[in-house]
Structure formats: structure tokens, C-alpha cells
Structure 1
Amino acid sequence: MITSHVTALNAKHQGLEQKLRDEMNRPVPDVVVLQSLKKQKLRIKEEIASS
């Protein structure tokens, strides 16, 4: 059973994925922004896995 917390985390994860894609599609992606987004995604993924 998926809780509303996990559902919210999944939505957040998808939002970060979209931001990551948008940043990578820029002519000159900002490496710092990419690293930050990837770290945030990883933290959320770990929290989902532990739920």
C-alpha cells in the first residue's frame, strides 16, 4: 500500500527529474545545479526505499 507521503515523494522525484532534463537540455548546463538536483533525487529515492 502506497501512503500519501510516498506519493508526495514520488511526485517530488518526478519534478526533480524534469528539472534535471531541462538543465541538461540547456546550451551550457550548470554543473553545480546538475549535481544538486542529482543529490536531491538520490535523497528522495533513499527515503522512498526506506518507507
Structure 2
Amino acid sequence: MSIQSHLQELKRRHQAIEQELNRELAHPASDPIRIAELKRKKLVLKDQMSKLNGTSTLH
């Protein structure tokens, strides 16, 4: 898998988690643990994307 395609997949997953987080936040009885878990997953993906962007600029 190329860096660019891997980056696209990470962006897709980040967006999917963002949508899930928005649905959870809109729900009146949202689970704070679930919200924290989704935010953590988003941050992990964002860190991975940042690392890939850093390596892709070296080429």
C-alpha cells in the first residue's frame, strides 16, 4: 500500500469516527465513556496522518 492510499484510508476512518461521535453527542443519553473512546481513536488516527504527511514530504 502506498503512503498516499494509506493516508486516504486513515482520513476515511477519521471521518467515519467523526460522524459516529456527532451521532453520539446528539443523543440525549450519550455515553461519556463511548465519547471519550471515539475522541481517543480520532486522535490516534490524526497522529498517524501527521506522521505520514511528514514522511511523504521527504520524498
TM-score by length of 2: 0.82
Which 4+ residue blocks in structure 1 deviate beyond 3 angstroms?
none
Shift of 1:12: 0.2
Any idea what SS the aligned residue of 2:30 has?
Answer: coil
Q: Percent identity?
A: 34
Unaligned runs of 5+ in 1: none
| 1:1-51 superposed matches below 5 A | 3-51=4-52
TM-score by length of 1: 0.94
Unaligned runs of 5+ in 2: 53-59
Shift of 1:28: 1.2
Q: Give the paired residue count.
A: 50
* Counterpart residue identity of residue 5, structure 2: S
Query: In terms of Rg, which structure is larger?
Result: 2
Coordinate RMSD, CA, aligned: 0.9
Distance 2:44 2:25 in 1: 20
